[in-house]
Amino acid sequence: ARGLVRRYAMRRGMFGRAAEVRAVNGVSLALAPGETLGLVGESGCGKSTTGRLVLGLEAPDAGEVCFEGAPMPSPGTPAWRRQRARLQMVFQDPLGALDRRLPVAAQVAEPLEIHGLGGRTERAARVEALLRAVGLRADHGARYPHELSGGQRQRAVLARALATDPTLLVCDEPISALDVSIQAQVMNLLTEVQATAGVAMLFVSHDLRAVRQVSHRVAVMYLGSIVEEGDPDAILHDPAHPYTRALVSAIPRPGAQGQRIVLRGDPPNPAARPSGCAFHPRCAVAVPLCARVSPELKPRRDGRLVACHVAQGEVAPGTGVSEPAR
Ligand code: SF4
Ligand code: MG
């Protein structure tokens, strides 16, 4: 994905003027076959929209998505539908993603029917194998979604997503609707599936710890932009961007040194994007430059990608700027 931009018009009040919301503001990312990229950030940072743009469920206002070297076809076209068999998504809410009137096996078989893959017997065998691969039994397939637990439902959703043998799986908060006791199981399953099916994965989550567990690489998003990207352990142990530092400091760790960094200011609002570095009103080390000039995402000497004037070593850390310069 190169330079993705996605804007929405949002009206304030019934007669208010439409404000432009830049949900995604110039995101570039690359995924190698079989690789998992974790996309982390708070709600509203544009990570879900990025996932939808990557899958071609929405068209970007600027930028492009290429899949195996070719530009993604326009949504809704026959070429796009063919492509879609190779790109699948797992959503946060497994109950909402499933049809409550159909037994699970029928829903796992659905993508095979839509894409005309296999005959009836082949499909039945494939569904059984898929259910087994995600840790469900054949008799789970005969049940309706409400007869399964939350974890079993997410397994069923995963089986359905894997039915067409996709090349890329976008998982959007796949565990956040599940009980904590089940989250670890589903995470292990995702790691396993990723390794055995060799599928590339874009793992979208607000939970840096969960992302680290499954990802080969992590990208941190803030207000529509990637602010830091690199090796998950390196980011967790030595975050470079002030926003990532705050995120990492909020993770409870037994015996961990250091204090939690409490971010000042308002949570990010994509309808009121600050000038310059979008993080500057909340940044403790901002300098006046930060309110004027948006830092580019570029590699440091150690290869870590970071979008910050200070972390890049361009300027010495400041003490924060409260007012954007005019
Ligand atoms: Fe943004 Fe400046 Fe803070 Fe870096 S130091 S995160 S550029 S405000
Ligand atoms: Mg989301």
Residue 326 has pLDDT above 70, yes or no: no
Which of 178, 181, 185 lies closest to 205 in space, CA to CA? Answer: 178
Which of 93, 89, 165, 174 lies closest to 129 in space, CA to CA? Answer: 165
The finding on whether 290 has its CB within 6 A of some atom of ligand 1 is yes
The finding on whether 308 has its CB within 6 A of some atom of ligand 1 is yes
Which of 53, 46, 92 lies closest to 268 in space, CA to CA? Answer: 46
Q: Where do the domains of the chain lie, and which CATH numbers do they carry?
A: 31-253 (3.40.50.300)
Strands 305-306 and 225-230: antiparallel
The finding on whether 217 has its CB within 6 A of some atom of ligand 1 is no
Q: Which of 273, 283, 305, 315 to probe ligand 1 with, by most ligand atoms within 8 A of CB?
A: 283
Which of 144, 132, 147, 139 lies closest to 189 in space, CA to CA? Answer: 132
- In angstroms, the Cα distances linking 126 to 73, 101, 112, 277, 324 are 28, 22, 9, 50, 58
In the structure, what pLDDT confidence band is assigned to residue 108 with cuts at 50, 70 and 90?
very high
Ligand number nearest to the C-alpha of 44? 2
Distance of CA 320 from the midpoint of ligand 1 (Å): 9
Measure the CA–CA gap between 201 and 196, rounded to whole angstroms: 13
Ligand number nearest to the C-alpha of 41? 2
The answer to whether 43 touches 206, Cβ cutoff 8 Å, is yes
Chain center to CA of 295: 22
The finding on whether 224 has its CB within 6 A of some atom of ligand 1 is no
Distance of CA 201 from the midpoint of ligand 2 (Å): 16
**Please, where are the H alpha helices in the chain?**
47-55, 78-84, 94-97, 104-114, 120-133, 138-141, 150-162, 180-197, 208-214, 232-237, 242-249, 288-292
Instruction: Read off the pTM.
Output: 0.90
Q: Residue with structure tokens 């010495």?
A: 316
Region 139-155: mean pLDDT is 93
Residue 265 has pLDDT above 80, yes or no: no
The finding on whether 291 has its CB within 6 A of some atom of ligand 1 is no
Q: Whose CA is nearest to atom 4 of ligand 1?
A: 308
Structure confidence at residue 325 (pLDDT)? 46
Region 63-68: mean pLDDT is 93
Q: Whose CA is nearest to atom 5 of ligand 1?
A: 286
ipTM at complex level = 0.97
The finding on whether 310 has its CB within 6 A of some atom of ligand 1 is yes
Backbone angles phi, psi at 50, to 5 degrees: -60, -45
Q: pLDDT, tens digit, for every residue of 8-29?
A: 887 766 666 777 888 999 999 9
